Amino acid sequence: MSHFSNIKTQIRNLTSLKAALNDMGIDWKEGPDTVRGYKGQTRKAEIVVEQENNYDIGFSWNGSEYELVADLEYWQQPLSVDGFLKKVTQGYALHTILDESAQQGFQVAQQQKNEDGSIRLVVQRWSA
């Protein structure tokens, strides 16, 4: 029986996911690589975060989104699973918006992190 949990996300862009993990200061490996789990079980993932306890966290493509793959019993991160996913998702959303805005000719006029953890972003585009 597998100990791995697959947690659905709304993450579809690998570049924005990588940028979000970088912003969080998380060391990750690009895959496909192996996520290590209970009793030597493994899964393949496109992003692998190694933990000191040899039980890894991964982000694996399921055909429509990147799922978080991990043996949650051996979670060893400063944030809870929920807190980790919220922070990754927020960073992912920010980078996705920044990339899409830049493609449409917008520039960041203001970016501010609020006390409640939310991010205020103002973009502008000059037209002739």
Domain-wise residue ranges, the chain: 5-124
pLDDT in tens, 57-114: 999 999 999 999 999 999 999 999 999 999 999 999 999 999 999 999 898 888 898 8
Query: How much of the chain, in percent, has pLDDT values that exceed 70?
Result: 98
Looking at residue 25, what DSSP letter applies?
Answer: T
Q: What is the pTM of this model?
A: 0.85
How many whole angstroms from its chain centre is CA 44? Answer: 16
What is the C-alpha separation between 45 and 47, in angstroms, rounded? 5
Show the DSSP H helices in the chain as ranges. 14-23, 81-103
Query: Stretch 3-31: mean pLDDT, rounded?
Result: 94
Query: Stretch 21-44: mean pLDDT, rounded?
Result: 93
117 or 19, greater pLDDT: 19
